[in-house]
């Protein structure tokens, strides 16, 4: 029970990576606030965790909702130990508009940054304030491989995730400068099999070939699973990682390490 007695808030926890993190935290003994704008699925996830979780609706773009949510957690538990800023969008969910640097609209650009970057900024801001009372805590920001390398057809998404990567370091340094034992780290997943991939993978006989195509440049030749991201989040949330702050951890099957050359004969 590596998180026993800790109180955690996970955004975008109605499905995918956020749901996996919420479940892993609860399994390790934390009380988890499952938050999302998808109230139906978010409530179902919290209900499935029994007394270890509660659902709270939270639009990460709203400063008022961040303030009210963190104040309510402090009022009930007296502390917030862990925040996972996971909520994010690609910007082209169900949308065929271009997202390349030449043709992306300013409206689309701002919309992606409002959720992916402004939401993380607000989460960090109010988590720091909530954690100041105890002087300890762990903030975990979910960035992306796209925050390290460019993505020509997803310019806003890549830009927002790169900003999350760097803001994480600013938060880590600020908290240390303040004499607080509040750590802030980022996780950079790539090719994780979440519901986001389902429309591209399809179903039936073509699904396996589509999956193979998408991971052909991944040295491990497979998709990662949300639970594998959650395992790293547990580590960063636990006291065992008390000397890790301002760090970035890649979970990408070796993509950023380079190509996996076949052994010579």
User: What are the pLDDT tens digits along the chain (265 aa)?
Assistant: 999 999 999 999 999 999 999 999 999 999 999 999 999 999 999 999 999 999 999 999 999 999 999 999 999 999 999 999 999 999 876 667 789 999 999 999 999 999 999 999 999 999 999 999 999 999 999 999 999 999 999 999 999 999 999 999 999 999 999 999 999 999 999 989 988 777 677 777 788 888 888 888 899 999 999 999 999 999 999 999 999 999 999 999 999 998 765 555 4
Round to whole Å and give the CA distance between 4 and 132: 20
The tokens describing 47, both together, are: 């209900």
The tokens describing 80, both together, are: 């917030």
Cβ distance 188 to 165 under 8 Å? yes
Instruction: Supply the residues annotated as catalytic.
Output: 157
Which residue carries 């773009």 as its tokens?
61
Round to whole Å and give the CA distance between 128 and 150: 30
């Amino acid at each position: 029970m590596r998180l026993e007695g800790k109180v955690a808030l996970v955004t975008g926890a109605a499905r995918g990576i956020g749901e996996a993190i919420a479940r892993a935290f609860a399994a390790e003994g934390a009380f988890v606030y499952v938050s999302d704008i998808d109230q139906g699925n978010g409530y179902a996830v919290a209900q499935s965790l029994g007394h270890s979780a509660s659902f709270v609706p939270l639009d990460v773009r709203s400063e008022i909702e961040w303030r009210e949510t963190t104040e309510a957690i402090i009022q009930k538990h007296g502390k917030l130990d862990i925040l996972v800023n996971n909520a994010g969008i690609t910007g082209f969910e169900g949308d065929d508009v271009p997202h390349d640097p030449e043709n992306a609209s300013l409206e689309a650009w701002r919309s992606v940054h409002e959720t992916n970057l402004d939401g993380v900024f607000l989460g960090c801001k109010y988590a720091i304030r909530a954690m100041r009372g105890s002087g300890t805590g762990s903030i975990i920001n979910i960035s992306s491989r796209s925050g390290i390398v460019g993505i020509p057809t997803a310019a806003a998404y890549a830009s927002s995730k790169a900003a999350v990567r760097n803001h994480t370091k600013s938060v880590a340094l600020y908290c240390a400068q303040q004499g607080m034992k509040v750590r802030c780290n980022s996780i950079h997943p790539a090719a994780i099999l979440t519901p986001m991939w389902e429309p591209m993978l399809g179903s039936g006989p073509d699904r396996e070939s589509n999956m193979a195509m998408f991971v052909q440049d991944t040295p491990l030749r497979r998709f990662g699973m949300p639970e594998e991201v959650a395992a790293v989040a547990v580590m960063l949330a636990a006291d065992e990682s008390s000397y890790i702050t301002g760090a970035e951890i890649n979970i990408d099957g070796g993509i950023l390490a380079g190509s996996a050359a076949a052994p010579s004969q």
